[in-house]
Structure 1
Amino acid sequence: MKNTILVAGAGGYIGIPLCHLLINQGYRVVAFDRFYFGQPVSEMPQSPEFHTLRGDIRHITPDILHNVEAVIDLAGLSNDPAAQISSTLTHAINYDGACHLANTAKKAGVQRYIYMSSASVYGRSGAESADEEMECKPQSLYAELKLNVERELIRLSDTTFQPIILRNATVFGLAPRMRYDLSVNIMTRMAVREKFITIDGDGLQHRPFIHVQDVARAVLLALQLDLPLSVPPVFNIGGDSLNHTINSIAAIITEEIPEVKIVHHPLSLDTRDYQLCFSHARTTLGFLPTRSIRDGVREIVHVLTTDQLAGTQPTCFTAQWYTDLIEWEKRLQPLQLDGHLF
């Protein structure tokens, strides 16, 4: 009998590639998502082993997790700008919802639980490469809540419930539910469409990066890992060659797209500056990234230069899309009668 995996946030940037990988590896997949960005049926796996379930992690019940062997939590408002739109909503989804999902999974007898955290929990490390033992100094609500969920998962961990926490580097690369609000992706889009790249501050701030397809591979390895309780279940996901400054990312892009200007904005509110050590993931997970920044830039350039509509969809810009949804709800709610607009 095939193992059943529930993927929360399955309709997102990472979720769709991950669902394809899991199906290709022989798993049965339940794609659980609120689908705020639409339900991309044509982009999802076309398989009898793939099932879609529309729902909210804040209200998931144990019966949904019946006969589920593992849960992968990708859900939540997905970056710092989106999290700043409403601190109340962000806390309700990213912390309360994540903790509810984990507790419900444990009650339902789910053994393996993979949580998609973020390298942003480190905040600042400067020239020093942060390993999983380094003190975390989150610089945003998004990162702070990620760290708090990690702590709840560690508290829940025992011989019957085994969480693994993946602290992803900043993700880049092409995916069906494309995002152009991530550093490499948005800088590449600006270079192609605007012929310039804007950089906040001096561009010397460090960031670790990871391709979206490699993130899916890391999740698969975590799913299959036999991890003793004595081994720390937290992993930085990325690669040593993918620790970059923002300036070095811009340099790669301008090598691929000639005659692009780089414009620095002297004032920057972005205080994040960190690079990561990946030895734990390399030795314990057996994870090494397979795609470079240049690979990601080239695939995005190809799409943007062959399809003039690519990168114009409102759903490609996460924070603005959430802002629009909240505004539309405010406008439409007073017009409803008995819960219906028409």
Structure 2
Amino acid sequence: MLNFKNIFITGGAGYVGAVLVKRLLDHGAKVTVLDLMLYGDDVIDPNPNLNMVKGDIRDQALLNKLIPGHDLVIHLACISNDPSFELNPNLGKSINLDAFRPLVEISKSNNVKRFIYASSSSVYGVKEEPNVTEDFTLEPLTDYSKFKADCEKILSEYQSPDFTTVTIRPATVCGYSPRQRLDVVVNILTNLAYHKREISVFGGDQLRPNIHIEDMVDAYIALINADDDKIAGEIFNAGYVNYTVLQLAEMIKETIGDDVKLIQTPTNDNRSYHVSSEKIFKKLNFKAKRSIQEAANDLKVAFEKGLLPNSLTDEKYFNIKRMQSVELR
């Protein structure tokens, strides 16, 4: 059971959204999804409790029409990942930053009770410390992560007794989704291992925090069901174990097959990211429990079943390729 029954999700037809929406529907929620549907509108099966709206979060008239009657907003929509953002920085800013305050204000003025914001662990920048906690200073390296940090600050202004705001900073999500992404590290390596029987690792010692997509959905469920006093105005990291890129590659090789060749190449890019997820465990008893091997195996099964045809070439699996082809404004 869920504490909220009428849920509005921006970006609900995205990689995480497609899995989250299904889970919420399974729990009996009524869900409205607002999404540009750039990657297809068939990623979630029809359901009498689901209202799929193709539209733009920058359209304030549409927000004012759709949001009334919902008691929870989960904001997932954004131009995600740095290359996609850099393709059209003005578009990225208009969606990732400029649309945010109006969305929050419209939500609050229409009696939404809780607002969950999907930020990113990239807001920390590169840290030397082995465990990066939520109180570390933010040093975002790109406009994508800078605007994520800016939105966190904006959201904090609206926290009040009748409008609970909470931010989550996920690690990189991995695993299978009906709206598949194959441009994030674990999924990239698994795709190459399965189809080319070869993985190239540039460097290898860099730490890359990941989280299985089903664990990510569990984290959102934990935020939905938490009491207000545990999450009001709070920020939570959400990740699994901080593995190096080489360790990730070795786990994927072990999952896909012994014949997979692993090639290491030197790199100048030695950026490491590592986050602590202690706070969300202590406060909400949430702990990611699904392994990297499980994420790789889920993708392997999807490849074997033909669920991800043309996975090396179809632009729908690669955000930047789709962004280039649709020429969104």
Pair in the same fold by TM > 0.5 = yes
Partner of 2:90: 88
Cα offsets for 1:260-290 (capped at 9, x unmatched): 233344334x564121111111011221113
Match runs of 1:193-272 below 5 Å? 193-200=195-202, 202-228=203-229, 233-239=234-240, 242-256=241-255, 257-268=257-268, 270=269, 272=271
Counterpart Cα distance in 2 of 1:144 and 1:272:
17
Find out whether 1:125 has 2:109 as its counterpart: no
Alignment counterpart, residue 73 of structure 1, candidates 72, 75, 84: 75
For this pair of structures, how many residues does the alignment match?
Answer: 322
Counterpart Cα distance in 2 of 1:77 and 1:272:
22
Counterpart Cα distance in 1 of 2:324 and 2:263:
27
Alignment counterpart, residue 32 of structure 2, candidates 30, 34, 37: 30
Q: CA deviation at 1:51?
A: 1.0
Partner of 2:279: 280
Distance 1:214 1:88, change over 3 A: same
Q: CA deviation at 1:303?
A: 2.2
Stretch deviating more after TM superposition (46-55 or 63-72): 46-55
Partner of 2:162: 160
Runs of 4+ aligned structure 1 residues displaced above 6 Å come to: none
Unaligned stretches of 5+ residues in structure 2 = none
- Contact 2:230/2:283 (CA < 8 Å) preserved in 1? no
Counterpart Cα distance in 1 of 2:46 and 2:105:
31
SS at match of 2:273: strand
AA at the equivalent of 1:100: P
Find out whether 1:112 has 2:114 as its counterpart: yes
Cα offsets for 1:180-225 (capped at 9, x unmatched): 001000111011112221223x211111111111111111110111
- Contact 2:131/2:276 (CA < 8 Å) preserved in 1? yes
AA at the equivalent of 2:316: T
Distance 1:294 1:106, change over 3 A: same
Partner of 1:48: 48
Alignment counterpart, residue 147 of structure 1, candidates 146, 149, 161: 149
- Contact 1:2/1:28 (CA < 8 Å) preserved in 2? no
Find out whether 1:289 has 2:314 as its counterpart: no
Q: CA deviation at 1:259?
A: 2.5
AA at the equivalent of 1:70: L
Counterpart Cα distance in 2 of 1:282 and 1:248:
24
The root-mean-square deviation of aligned C-alpha atoms, in Å, is 2.0
Partner of 1:340: none
- Contact 2:75/2:118 (CA < 8 Å) preserved in 1? yes
Partner of 2:21: 19
Counterpart Cα distance in 2 of 1:113 and 1:294:
33
SS at match of 2:131: strand
Unaligned stretches of 5+ residues in structure 1 = 331-342
TM-score, with length taken from structure 2: 0.92
SS at match of 2:128: strand
- Contact 1:62/1:107 (CA < 8 Å) preserved in 2? no
- Contact 1:2/1:26 (CA < 8 Å) preserved in 2? no
Distance 1:7 1:198, change over 3 A: same
Distance 1:82 1:2, change over 3 A: closer
Distance 1:271 1:111, change over 3 A: farther
Partner of 1:304: 303
Q: CA deviation at 1:63?
A: 2.9
Stretch deviating more after TM superposition (161-170 or 101-110): 101-110
- Contact 2:165/2:231 (CA < 8 Å) preserved in 1? no
- Contact 1:208/1:274 (CA < 8 Å) preserved in 2? yes
